[in-house]
Structure 1
Amino acid sequence: MATSVTDRFLRYVVIDTQSDAKSSTQPSTEKQKNLGRLVVEELLEIGISDAHLDEHGYVYATIPSNTAKNNVPVICFCAHMDTAPDFSGTNVKPQVVRNYQGADIPLPGDPSQIIRVVENQVLKDLIGNDIITSDGTTLLGADDKAGIAEIVAATEFLINNPDIKHGTIRILFTTDEEIGRGVNKVDLKKLGADFGYTMDGETAGTIEDETFSADAVEITIKGVAIHPGFAYGKMENAIRIAGAVIARLPKDMAPETTKGRDGFIHPTGVSGVMEKATLSFIIRDFTEDGLKSKEALLEKITKEVMEGYPGSSYTFTVKEQYRNMKVVLDRHPEIVDYAVEAIRRAGMTPVRGSIRGGTDGSRLSFMGLPCANIFAGGHAFHSPLEFVSSQDMEKAAKTIVELAKLWEERA
């Protein structure tokens, strides 16, 4: 299975599928459909007759049931086609380091980019593997083209091995996951699945049933504008007010100073002129209470700063992004239990984890499709130092096959 997973992956990563948060369309970039078309073509070649691309750039497909049992739940496997706007995804030139021997990996396109073992301890577990990287001038796109390659490879394996019994399996490839809109237009009725798995995690063997809960906050400050020559005692500069809010954010509540189960307040954008300034934030925490208390703290800081500017005003807008999927998954423990068993059967030691981020699975869980997240094998996402092991992608494809078998066995 390894060659087919790797060959597919190498085909997918050279297609630029970067999403764009500034665009209001779905998909946010038309180029995401280029990968969708290729994947549909491959699925049709494998023998999946209903594979198709819809107007929003989603790929839907079905592996028909081949078991006499009629009570097997319909399982969905999901991955996203877009790459993050954080770093260029144009003109990706993948390289394969065969039979990796444990040294730092310099990237040929930019000598300053080196994948260092000291910063990526997981490399010690990948000695002897084939490691795929970019050339250092772009990201690689293992997030989440590895997931797509794994699902397509597992599909081919199941179609070619009809003696492996399984229920109906639905495939869903989404657009715009990286900008938080991955499942906005998913038709769950058309999908018709009972449970799902996103193939969008990192280290081999990991199963994640918990994500951050996430909100966005926008603060708009209206200052008092006047000619600077006549400003004494009158001007209230919105840019200065915005700067004062940022200066008072707690240093120990930032992404760069938190880990594990600690959440954060993270300013993601600031723009303004003298009379009006806008601050954008993302707020993250594993609990609803933690989220609310961080939002209350941010508003308190803003209020206190504004007290020094009596002529100015502000608005504080909170927008829900996604919620911790654990709330939903705890009601369906078999979803995670079967994944743990499938990972074990595929030859790994399962590791339960929490995601300091979100996946399409967070949103799908709350839309009515309970969805856990399984490893795809990639590391150092959203950066030019991104890498993935061929063997880990093969293990992920194997995990999908084992999961299909398990749901049929236990029905």
Structure 2
Amino acid sequence: MKLTDKILAILACIIAFNFVIFESKAQKFKIIKNSLKAATKNSFKVVTNAKIIESAIETQKYPMPQKALPNMGVLSTTKYINSPNNNNNNNKGIIPNPKNLHNGKIAPNFINSFNGKNHKISIHKTTAINRMMKYIKRTENRFLNYAKISSQSIDTADMNVFPISPGQIKIAEYLENELCGICKGSDATIIRSNDQYVYVKIPSNIKNKDVPSLMFMAHLDVTPETPAQNIKPIVHYNYDGGDIKLPAGIVLSPNSPQGTHLKNCKGKTIITSDGSTLLGADDKAGVTVLVGAIEIIVKNKKIKHGDLYFVFSQNEDIGRAADRFEGKYVDGNPDIIIDVDGNMPDKFSVENFTASMLNYHFIGHDTHPGDGFVNKYGDALTAASYFIGQIDPKKHPSASKDKQGYIHCYSMTHPTDSMGKELAEDYLVKVRLRYFDKNEGDTLRQMLKNAEILTAKAYPFVRIEAGHETMQYENIAYTMYPGTAEIITKSADKYGLKMSPCSERGGTTSAMMAAKGLRGGPCIYSGQQAAHSVYEWVCVEDMVRMTYVTISITKNVADMKKINEN
């Protein structure tokens, strides 16, 4: 680009902002938009930050001050700093200072503006607003850096192995380096385990008070169920409220199940993939939220907190996030555990299914059907099918809702021997067991036992081996720390987010941890939408808001007194 074009672009924006002093509000916006439009023809980079300010002012319903704004530095052509290894203190001003943003004046107003509320601001607050605008851009860049790393997990039939893909190693290394840069000079500890989990510990800064310890979690892997190689994130600034057409030919619509929340995101920044792969917002949105919270906490010593732990796990999307969790890095079992992996802005889970898996091995014996009785024909295929047919249809997932449990015989295949050779005479039936109530769980187990007995009687020449029941995740309600739900509701409300507790017909990282003996913990919103699909997307402003909700939770827990449960 020619130097003269750059100068013209900058002048156009400066003239627009000078006119702001004299024109009516409607005219102000019109002049800014027209000037930016003209400048964009020559230099998009020059006006990127100015466009963010314009979006925040106009589309987020954030009124302009009556007088001229001080120099906000938004038209600078200085390259934006976003290197995880950059320890230059010159960029610390990008991080919003909670002294300004957490005192009930600026931050709540800014976050509430996401809901379309109007708030007046005085001139001396514009520096805080400028910091917030830069922080939104910082959050966007951080998420993009994570999303571009394909950290797809690898599913295996053998539940005793813990596979790790090259992408999972890469993102764990990247995150470790980023956190080391963020936490340099603080008393935080960062550890990357051999299984590529990343642990962060920030010791309590509260003296003479015993407060509950707090652990947040997110996961680094993405699902193997959807293409995830060569992810190409696309940023849609100032979303106009309509359909989003992606290069791969699919359309993300606010009228579709995948895009319902788009109706609440007009004027905000939306990130999608190109439509040929997933985006990875499940759960790199949660990772973005938590790293943002860590960054603010370690750089602002006035934020009071007890012992804080952050765990970034692996293989959550194949149900094994708890398998290689090492409690020694979080001093055993923290009091309050919160998983940042939800997709509902207005709800958070406080209970979920208890989930377990069972395998039934039907061992057959082939012979000529004409001599079936004489040669004791063990028809494993028919016996396995009969077994499945004995399960009450009312206990099938298609008949289950709310807090009703179910039995799901979801796979019937030939098993393999120790050498990997397929056993053609045998069949392996895999069964999922789900329930909220322990008594119902016992009823469902008895139903499976009855089906096994009836099948053995009907097909005596087929031997049935019932495998050991493996718990996949536990109901978090059984061991959740008292008052956790109230803390989340209070913290979210401060930032204009009305979150209510709900039951989750599924599992979370916290639920997997609960199955291994840790406390149960709720799952809160991360910003992710349409997970496990090529429609997956995230709203940047939602991630920023949840970063501040996370910090608010931290501060509110610091005001609690630890309960003696002995």
TM-score, L = length of structure 1: 0.90
Q: Are residues 251 and 102 of structure 1, via their aligned partners in 2, closer, same or farther at CA, if it must alter by over 3 Å?
A: farther
User: C-alpha distance in 2, partners of 1:113/1:226?
Assistant: 54
User: C-alpha distance in 2, partners of 1:268/1:13?
Assistant: 31
CA contact (8 A) 2:321 2:509 kept: yes
Larger radius of gyration: 2
Segments ≥4 residues shifted beyond 6 Å = none
Q: Are residues 262 and 161 of structure 1, via their aligned partners in 2, closer, same or farther at CA, if it must alter by over 3 Å?
A: same
- The CA deviation string for residues 101-155 of structure 1, in whole angstroms up to 9 with x for no partner, is 333433322x256456232433322333322222222222211111111000111
- In structure 2, the residue matched to 1:82 is 221
Q: Are residues 254 and 131 of structure 1, via their aligned partners in 2, closer, same or farther at CA, if it must alter by over 3 Å?
A: farther
Q: How does 1:55-74 map onto structure 2 within 5 Å?
A: 55-74=194-213
User: C-alpha distance in 2, partners of 1:119/1:86?
Assistant: 19
Q: How does 1:153-302 map onto structure 2 within 5 Å?
A: 153-192=292-331, 193-227=334-368, 231=372, 234-272=376-414, 275-302=425-452
Q: Which runs of 5 or more residues in structure 1 are unaligned?
A: none
Q: Are residues 320 and 67 of structure 1, via their aligned partners in 2, closer, same or farther at CA, if it must alter by over 3 Å?
A: closer
> Which range is displaced more, 275-284 or 157-166?
157-166
1:281 counterpart SS class = strand
User: C-alpha distance in 1, partners of 2:243/2:394?
Assistant: 32
Q: Which one of 176, 182, 186 corresponds to residue 40 of structure 1?
A: 176
User: C-alpha distance in 2, partners of 1:222/1:68?
Assistant: 64
- In structure 2, the residue matched to 1:18 is 152
CA contact (8 A) 1:62 1:170 kept: yes
CA contact (8 A) 1:263 1:290 kept: yes
CA contact (8 A) 1:210 1:355 kept: yes
User: C-alpha distance in 2, partners of 1:232/1:388?
Assistant: 62
Q: Are residues 92 and 293 of structure 1, via their aligned partners in 2, closer, same or farther at CA, if it must alter by over 3 Å?
A: farther
User: C-alpha distance in 1, partners of 2:199/2:141?
Assistant: 22
- In structure 1, the residue matched to 2:143 is 9
CA contact (8 A) 2:435 2:441 kept: yes
CA contact (8 A) 1:239 1:274 kept: no
CA contact (8 A) 1:103 1:117 kept: no
RMSD: 2.5
User: C-alpha distance in 2, partners of 1:251/1:408?
Assistant: 49
Q: Match for 2:169: what amino acid? A: K
- In structure 1, the residue matched to 2:477 is 326
User: C-alpha distance in 2, partners of 1:3/1:144?
Assistant: 19
Q: CA deviation at 1:378?
A: 1.5
Q: Which one of 232, 237, 255 corresponds to residue 117 of structure 1?
A: 255
- In structure 1, the residue matched to 2:234 is 95
Q: CA deviation at 1:274?
A: 5.2
User: C-alpha distance in 1, partners of 2:322/2:240?
Assistant: 40
CA contact (8 A) 2:199 2:312 kept: yes
Q: Are residues 237 and 28 of structure 1, via their aligned partners in 2, closer, same or farther at CA, if it must alter by over 3 Å?
A: farther
Q: CA deviation at 1:85?
A: 2.4
The yes-or-no answer on 1:402 pairing with 2:552 is yes
CA contact (8 A) 2:201 2:330 kept: no
Q: Match for 1:19: what amino acid? A: S
- In structure 1, the residue matched to 2:26 is none
CA contact (8 A) 1:150 1:394 kept: yes
**Higher relative contact order, chain-length normalized (CA < 8 Å, sep 6+):** 1
User: C-alpha distance in 2, partners of 1:374/1:298?
Assistant: 34
- In structure 1, the residue matched to 2:78 is none
Number of aligned residue pairs: give it.
Answer: 408
1:266 counterpart SS class = strand
User: C-alpha distance in 2, partners of 1:161/1:6?
Assistant: 22
Q: Which one of 501, 507, 511 corresponds to residue 352 of structure 1?
A: 501
Q: Which runs of 5 or more residues in structure 2 are unaligned?
A: 1-134, 415-422, 562-566
Q: Are residues 179 and 7 of structure 1, via their aligned partners in 2, closer, same or farther at CA, if it must alter by over 3 Å?
A: same
- In structure 2, the residue matched to 1:144 is 283
1:307 counterpart SS class = helix
